[in-house]
Amino acid sequence: MSAPRRFAAFLALLLCLGMIGPPAQAADDGGAIAAAYQRLGGPSGRLGQPLNAVRCGLVRGGCYQNFQGGDIHWSAASGAHATWGGIGARWGQLGWEAGQLGYPLAEEHCGLLRSGCYQDFQGGKIYWSPTSGAQPVWGAILQRYATLGWENSKLGYAVSGEHCGLRGGGCYQDFQGGKIYWSPSLGTNPVWGAILGYWGRYGWENGPFGYPTSAETCSGSCWQDFWGGRITWNPNAPMSYTLWSWNPLIAVNKRLPLNPVSYVPSPLVTVGNQQMRSDAAGALQRMINDAAASGVAITTVSGYRSYDTQYQLYWSYVAQYGQATADTISARPGFSEHQTGLAMDIGNPDGNCGLLACFRYTPAGAFAAANAWKYGFIVRYPDGYQPVTGYTYEPWHLRYVGADAAAQMHNWGVPTLEQYFAIGAAPGY
CB within 8 A of 78, min separation 6: which ones?
62, 102, 103, 104, 105, 122
End-of-domain residue from the set 102, 127, 151:
102
Q: Is residue 345 part of a domain?
A: yes
Strands 63-67 and 70-75: antiparallel
End-of-domain residue from the set 102, 135, 156:
102
CB within 8 A of 336, min separation 6: which ones?
252, 258, 305, 310, 330, 343
Helix axes 278-293, 363-371, angle to 10 degrees: 120
Q: How many helices and strands, by DSSP H and E, does the chain display? A: 12, 22
Nearest to 124 by CA among 105, 111, 152: 105
DSSP state letters, 240-305:
EEEE-TT------BTTB--SSTT---SSEEEETTEEEEHHHHHHHHHHHHHHHHTT---EEEE---
Output the pTM of the full model. Answer: 0.83
Strand partners, 82: 72
- The pLDDT of residue 411: 96
Please check whether residue 55 is in contact with residue 48, taking contact to mean a CB–CB distance below 8 angstroms: no
Residue 186 CA to residue 156 CA, distance in Å, equals 23
Q: Is residue 153 part of a domain?
A: no
Residue 425 CA to residue 8 CA, distance in Å, equals 72
- Residue 190: count other Cβ atoms within 10 Å of its Cβ: 25
Please check whether residue 155 is in contact with residue 192, taking contact to mean a CB–CB distance below 8 angstroms: yes
Alpha helices by DSSP H, listed for 17-65, are 32-39
Q: Is residue 190 part of a domain?
A: no
- The pLDDT of residue 238: 87
Q: Is residue 73 part of a domain?
A: yes
- Beta strand segments in 124-184, E: 124-129, 133-137, 158-164, 171-175, 178-183
CB within 8 A of 66, min separation 6: which ones?
50, 51, 52
End-of-domain residue from the set 102, 117, 141:
102
Residue 36 CA to residue 50 CA, distance in Å, equals 13
- The pLDDT of residue 234: 92
CA distances from 94 to 86, 90, 259 (A): 12, 6, 45
- The pLDDT of residue 402: 96
CB within 8 A of 38, min separation 6: which ones?
none
Residue 414 CA to residue 427 CA, distance in Å, equals 17
Residue 96 CA to residue 238 CA, distance in Å, equals 48
Q: Is residue 141 part of a domain?
A: no
pLDDT per residue rounded down to tens, the chain (429 residues): 444 333 333 433 343 444 433 333 445 899 999 999 999 999 999 999 999 999 999 999 999 999 999 999 999 999 999 999 999 999 999 999 999 999 999 999 999 999 999 999 999 999 999 999 999 999 999 999 999 999 999 999 999 999 999 999 999 999 999 999 999 999 999 999 999 999 999 999 999 999 999 999 999 999 999 999 999 999 888 889 999 989 999 999 999 999 899 999 999 999 999 999 999 999 999 999 999 999 999 999 999 999 999 999 999 999 999 999 999 999 999 999 999 999 999 999 999 999 999 999 999 999 999 999 999 999 999 999 999 999 999 999 999 999 999 999 999 999 999 999 999 999 999
Residue 294 CA to residue 300 CA, distance in Å, equals 18
- The domain total for the chain is 2
Strands 394-400 and 377-381: antiparallel
Please check whether residue 279 is in contact with residue 248, taking contact to mean a CB–CB distance below 8 angstroms: yes
Q: Is residue 211 part of a domain?
A: no
Q: What is the DSSP letter of 332?
A: P
Residue 60 CA to residue 63 CA, distance in Å, equals 9
Please check whether residue 251 is in contact with residue 202, taking contact to mean a CB–CB distance below 8 angstroms: yes
- What is the length of the chain? 429
CA 80 from chain centre, in angstroms, equals 38
- The pLDDT of residue 22: 39
The 178-183 sheet, strands edge to edge: 158-164, 171-175, 178-183, 187-192
Q: Is residue 377 part of a domain?
A: yes
Q: Is residue 308 part of a domain?
A: yes
Q: What is the DSSP letter of 175?
A: E
Please report, for the domain that includes residue 320, its CATH number. 3.30.1380.10
- Burial (CB count <10 Å: 0-12, 13-18, 19+), residue 428: exposed
Q: 369: domain range?
A: 268-421
